[in-house]
Amino acid sequence: MGFHKDFEKEFISQASYRMDESLRMVKKCLDQLSDDLIWKKPNAVTNSIGNLILHLCGNITQYGIASLQGLEDDRNRDLEFDTVSGFTKNELLDKLKSTVEKAKQSFADADSQELLRKRKVQGFEFSGIGNIVHVVEHFSYHTGQIALWTKLLNNKELGFYDGIDLNIKNENT
């Protein structure tokens, strides 16, 4: 395997790892909330956790699945934010898990040409690599919002890294 193939494989591996980490954190948040609280909005100009999860599913599908696989873009972005109920936290988590798994498979299936090909998504022009970076950072961004809102709702730590010493220094190897 040449450098470029090794690089692609490592890039996809790391992107998939970050997706799994965000999914783990969202699940940890949902585990601490009732079905009613996931639809609660902090104020009139912010979104509920339910809205954010629907939005993540739409965005991940548009950028990470449909665009990379050349599928029709049938996203209804406004509906992601207009929805006020209709899904339990378990249904939302299942929807997000399924979307993440499909996206990770889409990342892995993309060949070098697809990773480098430029395409327009939401009016922006990205390569396949750009789409993957967008999906990962967008998921992470909204995971942080979900975490903050969960902390505010519960007034307690989330325990994302319980049992892990985060003060360990870097190794210089």
Q: What is the pLDDT of residues 103-155, one digit of tens each?
A: 999 999 999 999 999 999 999 999 999 999 999 999 999 999 999 999 999 99
In the chain, what are the domain boundaries?
A: 3-154
| Domain at 3-154, CATH class | mainly alpha
Separation of alpha carbons 23 and 143, rounded Å = 8
pLDDT in tens, 29-55: 999 999 999 999 989 899 999 999 999
Separation of alpha carbons 141 and 18, rounded Å = 12
